[in-house]
């Protein structure tokens, strides 16, 4: 009974209402993620990546790739909020009768987290995920980006950054895959500017400049590819 209910969950809301949900959830993601307390450059470093993610998710939804849109939002913004809520809940200390305190943002984020999980499961359990992958030159860009993330930040970070664009690729949405690849490096120029103007970048190790230079190269390549895609 419960499984059948989850399977049918994707049909509970109309397409128009689901699109509104995706837009609202994407806007909430921007609100939750953006850093407003650390200066203009770090503000932009947090704003641009999540705006690209939000734009890609909304675009996927408008292209009738609703599962992909929900997966992207779940992995990029709400997975961490769900785990944070659960971690806070499990931190209760019943010995001292200390109950956890939840912020409104965390509660709202967790509600969205649950909605996204149920919506995603409704497709998975039904076996109709609607993937339509075709051979794409973006695959090589994704491999290069994964290698960069892996060398710079380790395997777990690389996986978290590369899975959303791979999802877009598996649904045949190349331009949104590029947007999500760009989101992974869109913070690089602004963090560099923050270091130049505020932090004293001369004290950074050589490795930072190498990774920053390659990150800028990836950001430039992705940006030009997106512009070309929209001009077609």
Q: Is the pLDDT of residue 174 over 70?
A: yes
C-alpha distances out from residue 19 to 10, 78, 111, Å: 12, 17, 17
Q: Would you tell me how many other CB atoms lie within 10 Å of the CB of residue 104?
A: 7
Tokens at 211, concatenated:
């990774």
178-220 pLDDT per residue, tens:
999 999 999 999 999 988 888 777 778 888 889 999 999 999 9
Q: How far apart are CA 93 and CA 14, in angstroms?
A: 43
3-state secondary structure of 93: strand
Q: Is the pLDDT of residue 158 over 80?
A: yes
89-148 pLDDT per residue, tens:
877 666 665 666 778 888 899 999 999 999 999 988 887 777 776 778 888 999 999 999
Q: Is the pLDDT of residue 64 over 70?
A: yes
């Amino acid at each position: 009974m419960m499984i059948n209910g989850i399977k049918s969950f994707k049909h509970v809301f109309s397409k128009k209402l689901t699109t509104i949900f995706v837009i609202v959830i994407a806007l909430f993601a921007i609100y939750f993620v953006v850093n407003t307390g650390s200066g203009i450059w770090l503000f932009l470093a947090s704003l641009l990546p999540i705006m690209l993610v939000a734009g890609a998710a909304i675009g996927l939804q408008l292209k009738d790739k609703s599962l992909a849109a929900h997966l992207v939002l779940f992995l990029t913004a709400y997975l961490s909020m769900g785990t944070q809520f659960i971690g806070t809940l499990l931190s209760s200390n019943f010995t001292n009768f200390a109950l956890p305190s939840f912020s409104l943002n965390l509660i709202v984020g967790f509600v969205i987290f649950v909605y996204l999980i149920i919506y995603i499961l409704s497709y998975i359990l039904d076996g109709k995920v609607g993937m339509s992958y075709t051979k794409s030159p973006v695959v090589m860009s994704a491999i290069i980006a994964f290698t960069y993330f892996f060398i710079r930040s380790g395997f777990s970070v690389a996986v978290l950054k590369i899975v959303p664009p791979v999802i877009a690729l598996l649904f045949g949405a190349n331009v949104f895959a590029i947007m999500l690849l760009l989101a992974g490096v869109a913070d690089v120029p602004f963090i560099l500017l923050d270091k130049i103007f505020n932090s004293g970048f001369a004290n950074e190790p050589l490795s930072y400049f190498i990774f920053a230079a390659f990150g800028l190269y990836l950001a430039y390549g992705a940006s030009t590819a997106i512009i070309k895609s929209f001009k077609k």
